Homo-oligomer: A and B are copies of this chain.
């Protein structure tokens, strides 16, 4: 079998697929690309058993062949070459020879029989979403996925299709993010949970181009231009998150996002490594944030102007979680909706938007004085 390919064309193809190759795996076969050369097309795919990436280019090969080639080595060779024509040729002894004007490179390939099958997702259930919009859904929510394996559903992102829009929900029990894209409406209410690694690999592949989403009971597939991205779904029930979102938080505090975020970054230097606590002392026109590191005998407090509608209140939060939430809110001003120092607090933009809705929820921590 032999064919010719431009080095930069092949580099572009392989660079799309390599993110699915696991860096460490107990199954060495997964460290390979699966090359399927058939009837004028070359399809390359890779998988770590959770996610898979697949794409094709046209090549004029003289035979069909399916083979498995060391992914990292091939990718590193191809991208270290200047733009040149590469002549691929299989040899009798399970070797591939790559020839360019100046060089000859020989690498081993293996049989494809042990390579796991890539799931096929039926194209029956299709949703189309703009790539940049999907990236925004992920960027706003992915930080709050749980890092703990105790409740597998919470380690992923919930995709919830509803009549009002497509909801993205993440929570680790300490904070919760709900983002609604109102352009994607569905007659049937359906929930799918996409694992964390899939979310992060997917986010890197997204651009301006429209994305087609296909869904089955066990898998989700995204078609991004000529690239297909497939992920298994987490087969668990997502916690009924609506029950933890308080409805009657009547005390409103309006504050400038930048002012508070800048102060919180300084409080992170003082909130002691164990409790990571920051105290909000809220009054009509001023918010005092304070933190203390008892071990090192240091403490800090800052005053920020705010507009607050309730009775003066002291409430504690985990400094790192406040920092995460504020870092993901773009609006100049935000509202904290509060009820009491022991009840969940809602943080939202002051501006209503036409096609999206973003809500953050923070659980308070008990003040230690």
Contact = CB atoms under 8 A, between A and B. Distances in A.
A73 interface: yes
Copies in the complex: 2
A216 interface: no
A108 B304 contact: no
Interface residues of A, number: 30
Given A302-B103, A303-B102, A297 B266 contact: no
A105 B267 CA distance: 10
A262 B81 CA distance: 8
A297 B299 CA distance: 62
Contacts of A262: 80, 82
B106 A300 contact: yes
Given A81-B266, A262-B82, A302 B106 contact: no
Q: 10 closest Cβ contacts across the A-B interface?
A: A103-B302, A108-B297, A107-B298, A105-B300, A80-B266, A102-B302, A76-B269, A106-B299, A80-B265, A102-B303
23 contacts: A73-B269, A73-B296, A73-B298, A76-B269, A77-B266, A77-B269, A80-B265, A80-B266, A80-B269, A102-B263, A102-B303, A103-B266, A103-B302, A103-B303, A104-B300, A105-B266, A105-B299, A106-B299, A106-B300, A107-B296, A107-B297, A108-B297, A108-B298
